[in-house]
Structure 1
Amino acid sequence: MMSHLYPTVLLCAYGFFSNLRPLEPFLTAFLLGPDKNLTEKEVVNEIYPIWTYSYLVLLFPVFLATDYLCYKPVLVLQAASLVVTYAMLWKAQGKLAMQFLEFFFGATLFGSAAGCLIGQLLLSVAKAELLHLVFITLASAAVAFVAPWFLPMPKRSLFFHKSLGVASDEQRRSSKSSLEKLEDAEVKAPLNTKSSSVSRSSEAADQNVGLVRVLKILFEDFVQCYKCRPLLAWSLWWALATCGYFQIINYAQPLWETVRPSQDYEIYNGYVELLSTLLGALAALLVGCLPVSWSVWGELLLCVLSLLMAVCVFVMNMLKNIWVCYSCYVLFRTTYMLLITVATYQIAASLSVQRYALVFGVNTFVALLLQSLLTLVVVDSAGLGLDIFPQFIVYGVYFAVIAGIFFLAWSYKLASRRRSEQEVQMNGAAPPEADRPPDTPI
């Protein structure tokens, strides 16, 4: 037990300090303020889009590198990216430097609730300057950079570093998926080295599974996973909604800054991010208590709640009141966190553990691909380069379209079920057990 405690504490320290970023709720205000003196168009249309593109480009290579390098070096690289990001934010000047900064930021995503609260208290109570938040965030990133160096190196990976004997043994078990075969071969191998058919010396002589073999395994499992229609439906919502969610949280601050400029009024972005994070976490915890059969009503609820998210976006854009914007943002994030928790459960319930990384990685990649296209067309100065208010009209329509897609999916599912029931009644037979949706809630 003590052997697991040490890396667990280090990982918790890494996670806490890498997400302790009190500047993040006030990043737009800092970039537009006297420290950087950038224009709104430069920040929104030329700087912020870079992190979306960098995240998309780096996602798949980092996914493979994480497994091949056994995780630890990638954690160090991510922490180093944080340090570079906030060091540049402190010292670098100009639009080009901020674009380069956003490329490094594409290794990271969200600030934690603690960082939001600390940042808001420092601004509101201690009357600190925004530049002071940069120093605190940089110090936190430096602590996060130190922690992973002391982690033990994992002895195995999920895809790479498998012996050829194991790889060939997989191929002979065609009734199972590639990753399940791979795990079975390792689990069934005797632990006693004297009775094992493969000695340590022969294992050392075996070559590692190559990149081509890993890509083949991934593709085979990709095809097999997405043949499952419920998994495909939940993954579709995951990708579409996550794309829109990223856009909203990325560009909410410029909207708030336009409605209530930070140089003229006190802003409360930290409290808003804290409240939305806590309520989102509470919704994720309580979702299991909802008496809902998601297999039956899932598409309809995805439709209704996606429509609610669309309404939140439209109201933020149309009323142009900061308190309405804050409230709608909290409701928007809470709704998303509830639904993404349900989607995660529904997807994971259809998979073996070995496929989690693949499916959730593919879903995230599709979301980022859609987000990159949306950013290029709507936000980037190379595309339409829309101002912030027209952007939010587009995002509201986007979530309304998601609601429409799942309304059509639910209507089709309902019509198919009724047709099946009529055919059963005509044939005088009970419906097959496999066609009956489970009645147990999540």
Structure 2
Amino acid sequence: MTDTNGAMSDSDSNSKVSPVEDDDDRDILLKKRFWWEALKCCSFTFLLTFKPSEPHISTYLREVKSFTDVEIYTQIYPWWTYSTLVLVFVSAFLAEFVGYKLSLVLGACGRVATRFLLLFGTRLWHMQLMQVCYAFGTTAEIVFYAYIFHIVTRDDYQKLTSMALAAHVISNALSGFLGDILLNVFHQSYTTLMWWSAVFVCCAALVTLTFTSVRRPKSPTPAQVWTTIKLAYRNVTFLLIILWWIFANSAYGIVYGYESSLYDIIMTRDNLDNYNGTVFAMGQILATLASLSVAVPIVLKFTSNNQHLTVGFVGWLCTAALGLMAWWSDLAPMCTGFVFYYGSYHFVNAFVSAETGRVVNGNTKGSGDTGDPGRDCYAMVVGSNSTLDHRSSSFRRQPTTYSSTTETERLRMQSLAWKLWLIDIAH
């Protein structure tokens, strides 16, 4: 007996229907609502990511807002990194004990505040506040990937997760194209790009108002949430996968940031044309296809039953891709390695994101607590997974100050370190 949102209503809590029967009814309703929920979720991730100004943030802060590189990289950007470490638990706490929809709406408001502070802020503390607002929006986006598990059935976790991540990647690619066209063809200003970004982020915030509320008979207690977390991390296979994912995200932050520098070094040395935008576009297209491919039934069946083999195989692909980037000094092998690394990473990212929901759902049901309001505390588990990841993002925003030789050797050493680590995990 469920309401239109597929959750138990208060009047049903005293009924004699067994939890298993109620779960069956709920799954039927969620199946019927899948495409409507998918439309809202994919629209949200697409609009939130569609920011033509994003690749030009540092240039905007320097040329339009007149901040120095030292201020940008040491006094503005670090506020995002450290704020995220705290706010991820604030957003997860709000989701579990107050409401998922409220957490997502407030996070979207944080993203809107970020855009208007970028447009109208003039002082250093304005930009620092902007980074805190952006951090709150980022942590709410993490909660969003836990929210997905409440609005679809377990069988559809991977499908909707893959669709949402694919919408994120393709939006990033299209917004980058639009930004370059506006700048180079129509000669628009960086401020104009900021306004475009603000409009799309505001639209994403409006979409959150249409999200289905997650209703429970009552809120879980802290003890129930803690039990859910312990059950998840007692799964040794899941724990090893999450450890790999955390370090893979760190490697992703390094590789994503240094590819542009390495491309520029080789391009200048060999006097070649600049097609790095096309390289990134190819990587994003492959990443979109890779994210969607995880939801293909035959692929999903294999990955769900062979988690270790899946992560180990993709780890070897990432290792090979990093090897191409590190030890071949020509442009074509380096770009090929980057594109395949980008696609491989997004394949395993889509898999791990949905696997979190499957593990939490399966472990809790396996414990027999099918009527426990703490059974579906996905936000705290997803938040815990993400906490150690965000430090890597600071690498993407560091200025390039190395010489050609130093830069190449630095990337080679980083690649070698990650390769050895990935090989150990695969074994």
TM-score when normalising by structure 2:
0.64
Alignment CA distance shift 1:306-1:7 (3 Å) = closer
Which digits, 9 at most, give the CA deviation of each residue in 1:177-203, with x for residues without a partner?
Answer: xxxxxxxxxxxxxxxxxxxxxxxxxxx
1:408-427 residue pairs with structure 2 within 5 A? 408-411=424-427
Alpha-carbon separation, structure 2, partners of 1:10 and 1:346: 22
Alpha-carbon separation, structure 2, partners of 1:380 and 1:21: 17
Alpha-carbon separation, structure 1, partners of 2:313 and 2:319: 10
Q: Tell whether 2:98 aligns with 1:89.
A: no
- Match of 1:352, SS state, is helix
**Is the Cα–Cα contact under 8 Å of residues 101 and 214 in structure 2 kept in the other structure?**
no
Alpha-carbon separation, structure 2, partners of 1:271 and 1:129: 23
1:31 matched to which residue of 2?
A: 61
1:252-267 residue pairs with structure 2 within 5 A? none
Alpha-carbon separation, structure 1, partners of 2:118 and 2:350: 33
Q: Tell whether 2:233 aligns with 1:226.
A: yes
Give the paired residue count. Answer: 343
Alignment CA distance shift 1:133-1:256 (3 Å) = farther
Which digits, 9 at most, give the CA deviation of each residue in 1:48-94, with x for residues without a partner?
Answer: 23212222210011011023332232233222222221112122235
Letter in structure 2 aligned against 1:343: V
2:381 matched to which residue of 1?
A: 359
Alpha-carbon separation, structure 2, partners of 1:331 and 1:97: 39
Which digits, 9 at most, give the CA deviation of each residue in 1:395-434, with x for residues without a partner?
Answer: 76455434323423444xxxxxxxxxxxxxxxxxxxxxxx
Which digits, 9 at most, give the CA deviation of each residue in 1:103-146, with x for residues without a partner?
Answer: 22212377633322322222233232222101111122233333
**Is the Cα–Cα contact under 8 Å of residues 320 and 337 in structure 2 kept in the other structure?**
no
Q: Which has the higher helix share?
A: 2
Shift of 1:394: 5.9
Shift of 1:268: 7.1
Letter in structure 2 aligned against 1:404: L
Q: Which has the higher contact order (CA 8 A, sep 6+)?
A: 2
Alignment CA distance shift 1:69-1:2 (3 Å) = closer
**Is the Cα–Cα contact under 8 Å of residues 326 and 415 in structure 2 kept in the other structure?**
no
Which digits, 9 at most, give the CA deviation of each residue in 1:312-368, with x for residues without a partner?
Answer: 66479x77x7x8876654443222112223434555554426364443332112323
1:198 matched to which residue of 2?
A: none
2:373 matched to which residue of 1?
A: none
1:401 matched to which residue of 2?
A: 417
**Is the Cα–Cα contact under 8 Å of residues 120 and 270 in structure 1 kept in the other structure?**
no
Q: Tell whether 2:96 aligns with 1:67.
A: yes
Aligned partner of 1:340 among 349, 371, 377: 349
Alpha-carbon separation, structure 2, partners of 1:104 and 1:141: 13
1:419-438 residue pairs with structure 2 within 5 A? none
1:438 matched to which residue of 2?
A: none
Which digits, 9 at most, give the CA deviation of each residue in 1:206-254, with x for residues without a partner?
Answer: xx65xxx32x223223222222221121111111112332455467678
Which digits, 9 at most, give the CA deviation of each residue in 1:15-58, with x for residues without a partner?
Answer: 433222111122233234x2133344433344323212222210
Aligned partner of 2:286 among 270, 275, 279: 279
Alpha-carbon separation, structure 1, partners of 2:258 and 2:85: 18
Letter in structure 1 aligned against 2:247: L
What residue ranges of structure 2 are gaps of 5+ in the alignment?
A: 6-32, 142-167, 363-375
**Is the Cα–Cα contact under 8 Å of residues 45 and 379 in structure 1 kept in the other structure?**
no
Alpha-carbon separation, structure 1, partners of 2:267 and 2:127: 24
**Is the Cα–Cα contact under 8 Å of residues 44 and 204 in structure 2 kept in the other structure?**
yes
2:204 matched to which residue of 1?
A: 144
What residue ranges of structure 1 are gaps of 5+ in the alignment?
A: 163-207, 412-442
Shift of 1:295: 4.9
Alpha-carbon separation, structure 2, partners of 1:56 and 1:388: 29
Alpha-carbon separation, structure 2, partners of 1:259 and 1:332: 19
